[in-house]
A and B are shown apart, each in its own frame.
Chain A
Amino acid sequence: MASLRDIRKHISSIKSIKQITYAMKMVAVARIKKAQNSMLSARPFAIKMDSVIADLYSEMQEADFKKSSVHDLFENENDAKSVGLVLITSDKGLCGSFNANLIKKTLGFIRANKDKKIYFISVGKKGRDFVRRIKRIDLEFYYEMFGIFPKVGYIHSNLVSENVIKMYREKKLSRVVFIYNEFKSMIQQNLVEQEFLPLEKHILSRAAGASGISDFDFEPGKMRLMENLIPRHISSHIYRILLESQAAELSARMNAMESASKNAAEIIDELTLKMNKTRQAMITTELNEIVSGASALES
């Protein structure tokens, strides 16, 4: 049986663990508010961007569009020998199953594309470290970025999107897939595997019917505008993904740390009970010894 001293030591060490997990939870709670706000304030830009693109597209002839240099982002005839994968994980651990789920999904993707060459972009340290360790697959690192959470800026998404587009064009990929966590609510994250490139045509045609009859004039020409707009559209899309992932990471961490604190509290209760029992037993034994000693003297 453990001595009183051992139990006391154990309790104090668990108490300090609880303090740490509790502090981490509070930090996540404070940051999540901010992350949610930045998600909300990024929304109007993305929506307007879509509607501007739709307006522009509704003014363009299909043939014109086919000639523009961004056309390859929508359709391509590249053979399916290679694919691109963008994995968005966190930099730090201690956030429950956040990264584990992503990694499971990534493994599934890699297995499904065993016969193809995979070009890999990683955002976040955890994903990079994990993929580095996998052996015997045809995978090449194209670009990596870390240390951006929890302060994602538009600059970061610009960099990522630049590299995604470059990779797509340079390596003649048939498609680029994003794997990331989406923020659903404070207690839930959604795992998403999304075909990112080639872009879906529906962003173009969605509002085309609705926007109707305004005949736009353009400066500096439809084609140039489209070529400048599409990369920005992609980057605002990636910005949204990064923000989602950031908020999801924080909420995952919050939950993980909350249950860790709860578990710590439970263990402390148990140990306290055990400590008291041990103490009681010790006192009883001592009393017993005194009493029996006294009676031995009397007789």
Chain B
Amino acid sequence: MKKIKLTVLTPDRTLLSSKETESITIPAFEGEMGILPGHAPYIVQLKEGILRYKAGGKEDFMAIFWGFARIKGDEVTVLTEMGELVKEINEEKARQEYQRAKDAMNMKGADLDLDSAQASIKKAIVRIKVAELRRKRNI
């Protein structure tokens, strides 16, 4: 069976390097997008979400926060501002972050930075989702 190579990069580290996978799902700008071998060349903007891939029949995933993906030949390159592997995510902390950001939004203080509060809410949501998925899959 044909494989696709997945590379996930953030500015300060390499999360995955040319990993051979059978299928990939990325959180594209306008909804989730599945990639199978032989996909047409594509450049797409990503939003925050879960990147999933199947390698050797086993599914794995990670959280990514904004970025770009390029599909070219049998290679997929994901450039993301920030990415976290499953094992790096702490559910308890994510929930606290979510709560804190929500509180900040509700208080509507004078120095509230709405963009950054919304961004941290989005981030926390993704982290919680990943943690839930992890529990379901029992990894």
* Residues in A lying within 8 Å of B, measured CB to CB: 38, 41-42, 44-45, 48-49, 52, 55-56, 153-154, 157, 214-220, 224-225, 228-229, 232, 236, 239
* Residues in B lying within 8 Å of A, measured CB to CB: 7, 9-14, 17, 28-30, 40-45, 68, 70, 72-73, 77, 79, 81-82
What are 29 A-B pairs at a CB distance below 8 A?
A41-B13, A42-B12, A44-B14, A45-B79, A48-B70, A48-B79, A49-B79, A52-B70, A52-B77, A52-B79, A154-B10, A154-B11, A154-B82, A157-B11, A214-B41, A214-B73, A216-B41, A216-B43, A218-B43, A218-B44, A219-B28, A219-B44, A219-B45, A225-B45, A228-B68, A229-B68, A232-B79, A232-B81, A236-B11
Closest to A41 in B: B13
Inter-chain contact B11/A239, CB cutoff 8 Å: yes
Chain A hits for B81, CB < 8 A: 154, 232
**Across the A-B interface, the 6 shortest Cβ-Cβ residue pairs:** A214-B41, A154-B11, A219-B44, A45-B9, A216-B41, A217-B42
A220 and B43 alpha carbons, distance in the complex (Å): 9
Inter-chain contact B10/A45, CB cutoff 8 Å: yes
Chain B hits for A220, CB < 8 A: 29-30, 45
Chain A hits for B72, CB < 8 A: 55, 214, 216
Chain B hits for A56, CB < 8 A: 43
Inter-chain contact A217/B45, CB cutoff 8 Å: no
Interface centre among A45, A215, A224 (most CB of B within 10 A): A45
Inter-chain contact B9/A215, CB cutoff 8 Å: no
Chain A hits for B77, CB < 8 A: 48, 52
Main secondary structure of the interface of A (DSSP, over half): helix
A220 and B45 alpha carbons, distance in the complex (Å): 7
Inter-chain contact B30/A219, CB cutoff 8 Å: yes
Chain B hits for A218, CB < 8 A: 42-44
Shortest C-beta distance, A166 to chain B (Å), equals 15
A178 and B124 alpha carbons, distance in the complex (Å): 36
Inter-chain contact A52/B43, CB cutoff 8 Å: yes
Shortest C-beta distance, B16 to chain A (Å), equals 11
Shortest C-beta distance, A70 to chain B (Å), equals 15
Inter-chain contact B12/A225, CB cutoff 8 Å: no
Shortest C-beta distance, B13 to chain A (Å), equals 5
Chain A hits for B40, CB < 8 A: 217
A218 and B70 alpha carbons, distance in the complex (Å): 9
Inter-chain contact B29/A219, CB cutoff 8 Å: yes
Chain B hits for A41, CB < 8 A: 12-14
